[in-house]
Structure 1
Amino acid sequence: MIEIERKFLVKSDDYKSEASTKTRIVQGFLNTDPNRTVRVRIKGDLGFITVKGKSNVTGTSRFEWEKEISVEEAESLLTLCEKGMLNKTRYEIAIGNHVYEVDEFYGENEGLTVAEIELNDENETFQKPAWLSTEVTGEVKYYNSQLSKNPFKNWVD
Structure 2
Amino acid sequence: MTDALEDDVEYERRFLVADLAVLNGVEDYEQIEQAYVWKAGGYAIRVRTIRRSDDPTGETQASFTLKGPRKDAHRYELEQPMDPGHAHAIAEVTPHRIRKKRYAKITEGNTWVIDVFEGANHGLIIAEFEAGRGAVGSLKKPWWAGEEVTEDVRYNNEELAANPWPFKERP
Question: Separation in 2 of the partners of 1:6 and 1:18?
Answer: 23
Aligned residue-pair number = 153
Gaps of 5+ in 1: none
> 1:146 maps to which residue?
159
TM-score (structure 1 length as normaliser): 0.87
Q: Note the C-alpha offset of 1:20.
A: 7.0
Choose which of 51, 54, 67 in structure 2 pairs with 1:52.
67
**Distance in 2 separating the partners of 1:100 and 1:20:** 15
Q: Distance in 2 between matches of 1:66 and 1:76?
A: 18
1:43 corresponds to which residue?
A: 50
Which position in structure 1 is the counterpart of 2:57?
A: none
Does the CA-based 8 Å contact 2:108-2:142 persist in structure 1? no
Query: Deviation at 1:48?
Result: 1.1
Q: 1:27 aligns with which of 31, 34, 43?
A: 34
Indicate if the aligned counterparts of 1:4 and 1:62 stay in contact, CA closer than 8 A.
yes
Structure 2 residue identity aligned to 1:48: S
* Structure 2 CA distance for aligned equivalents of residues 149 and 99 of structure 1: 29
Q: C-alpha separation between the residues in 2 aligned to 1:53 and 1:96?
A: 30
Alignment equivalent of 1:8, drawn from 9, 15, 19:
15
Distance 1:55 1:129 in 2: 22
Q: What is the letter of the counterpart of residue 49 of structure 1? A: F
TM-score (normalizing by structure 2): 0.80
Are residues 136 and 35 of structure 1, via their aligned partners in 2, closer, same or farther at CA, if it must alter by over 3 Å? closer
Structure 2 unaligned residues grouped into runs of 5+:
1-7, 52-59
Q: CA deviation at 1:16?
A: 1.9
Q: Computing the radius of gyration over CA atoms, which structure comes out larger, 1 or 2? A: 2
Which residue of 1 is the match for residue 3 of structure 2?
A: none
SS at match of 2:20: coil
